Chain A
Amino acid sequence: MADNKGNIEDPDVSRRRFFTLMGLGVGWGSIVTALGGAGLGAARYMIPSVLYEPPTVFKIGKPENYGIGVDTKLKKERQIWVVRNERGIYVMVAICRHLGCTPNFFQDQSLFRCPCHGSIYDTHGNVVGGPAPRTLWRAAISLDPVDGEIVVSFNTRQDPDPVGTPEGLMVEEAGREVEPYFLKV
């Protein structure tokens, strides 16, 4: 056996070397694989597959119950605001897009203001002040065909990319008032 410089090596030594290296490779390889697999398994273990959390699809009564403006009476129970404008109804999720606190609605200013870091939203959910990076979520809603109540799907949420303007982070209202996030009633 000769390498590219022409030196002759003892084939036995070279073979022994090969097997040693291969043994080391296999040995260390399996240790790393086993540890890596255990690590991945542990990481997966920390992510539960079944959750025992409150239901995220619920009914909030008939559309006639909600007048023009922001209705805050379901904020405590369901963490939502129901808003009706001239065209229809939409449901906003009462979770600040900054860090998840619950903003308060100020009727006199027509603004939502977050107590944690001072984010300010208008009644459309646009960010008009403070550190929030995106607009408020709107939850998917539909009418129950049987009893005519509004069904809110809390975890199906509208989240368009906002545009920075001198007024704040804005989303065009027409683009937001679409099924299933808006009820023309």
Chain B
Amino acid sequence: MSDQASDSLSSSPKKNSLAELIKKTALKKIGPEDTVLVWPNLVYLELICMMVATAILLFLSLVSPAPLEELASADTTPNPTKAPWYFLGLQELLVYFDPWLAGMVLPTFIIIGLILIPYVDPNPLGKGYYTFKERKFSMLGFGFGLSLWWILILIGVFFRGLDWSWYWPWDDPHVHMPAGAVKLIDLQIILQNTLGLSEAPLVTLGRYAVTIGNLITWALFLGFYAVGFTVPFIFFRDFYRRLGFVRYNVMMFFFISMMGVPMKIFLRLLADVKYVLVTPWFKF
């Protein structure tokens, strides 16, 4: 995730940024006057930190003890069932994606994506100090993913009520929302109906009846990735060059997938699309 690319594109000519780079990354001499003894400076700081944290924990525990719900029973699910706050982002994703995707594949992507961050970020600037200007792309990219996660958690905590329906703060949380106000439709059926395509399958592969609409959704899905990979390659060639072939492709795969998540959510919200792509084995 480089942003020198965007830096050199936008503001300073290349020479300057190179000189700056060398200046910034040159080994700094650390003399004894720049360091302090850990005892007592750091050790006492840590002690104070721990005392404060203990005090806060004790206070919270006394004010709000751990809850205990009714005895577990397999026949009645509490309504609504909310996981602890840190899993509500995941629970909210499950509304928009099938369990295999929201529950397994997307979390795995998030974890692998996080692990890969240091290996796809070739920018030597911004190491060990706060900066936004020297690494705009990586800050914006990471910030976007983080914000998505937090907004999903926020929605799960405060805006979901009975039957996992959406409740604004001014809605009565004790009244069930009407069901089935909106019908969700697969994208290929929307295409079939609006373009007047035939519903008859072109080919049948076992359980898989491939229709024209289905092929178009495949094209749209693969096209989304294709465009995502090519556009930066053509228009931000410097960006590509700095990353190199492997880094660029790995990074872009996760980046495009991340952008796909809110896109699918919006397709669901604004166009009532249930699945973008349907096969007998998986749907999303």
Contacts and interface: CB of A to CB of B under 8 A. Distances in A.
Q: Do chains A and B touch in the complex (CB under 8 A)?
A: yes
Interface of A: 75-77, 79, 94, 98-99, 101-104, 106, 109, 111, 113-118, 120, 128-131, 133, 161, 164-168
B171 to A, nearest CB: 15
Of B97, B176, B280, the most chain A CB neighbours within 10 A belong to: B176
B48 interface: no
Nearest to B193: A166
Q: Which 9 residue pairs are nearest across A and B when measured between Cβ atoms?
A: A115-B79, A118-B164, A164-B186, A76-B75, A101-B77, A102-B77, A113-B163, A133-B98, A116-B81
B184 A118 contact: no
Interface in B58-100: 73-81, 91, 94-99
Contact of B81 (A101, A131, A161): A101
A60 B8 CA distance: 75
Contacts of A99: 94, 99, 103
A129 B77 contact: no
A106 B175 CA distance: 13
Given A117-B94, A129-B182, 18 more contacts: A76-B73, A102-B77, A106-B176, A106-B179, A113-B163, A113-B176, A113-B179, A115-B77, A115-B78, A115-B164, A117-B91, A131-B95, A131-B98, A164-B185, A164-B278, A165-B185, A166-B185, A166-B193
A168 B95 contact: no
B82 to A, nearest CB: 9
Nearest to B187: A164
B81 A120 contact: no
A128 B163 contact: no
Contacts of B275: 164
Contacts of B162: 115
A94 B183 CA distance: 23
B199 to A, nearest CB: 10
B180 A111 contact: yes
Contact of A131 (B96, B207, B278): B96
Contacts of B179: 106, 109, 111, 113, 120, 128-129
Of A76, A94, A166, the most chain B CB neighbours within 10 A belong to: A166
B251 interface: no
Interface residues of B, number: 39
A133 B280 CA distance: 11
Interface of chain B, helix or strand or loop or mixed? loop
Contacts of B103: 99
B283 A133 contact: yes
Contacts of A77: 75
B243 interface: no
Contacts of B135: none
Nearest to A99: B99
Nearest to A119: B164
Contacts of A118: 95, 163-165
A82 B184 CA distance: 28
Interface in B177-219: 178-180, 182-186, 188-189, 193, 207
Contacts of B98: 131, 133
B182 A165 contact: no
A167 B183 contact: yes
Of B95, B103, B182, B275, the most chain A CB neighbours within 10 A belong to: B95
Contact of A166 (B94, B180, B189, B280): B189
A98 B99 contact: yes
8 contacts: A76-B73, A76-B76, A101-B77, A109-B178, A116-B77, A118-B95, A129-B179, A133-B98
A154 to B, nearest CB: 12
Nearest to A78: B75
Contacts of B97: 131
A102 B76 contact: yes
A176 to B, nearest CB: 17
Contact of B183 (A76, A79, A129, A161): A129
A103 B162 CA distance: 12
Of A103, A106, A114, the most chain B CB neighbours within 10 A belong to: A114
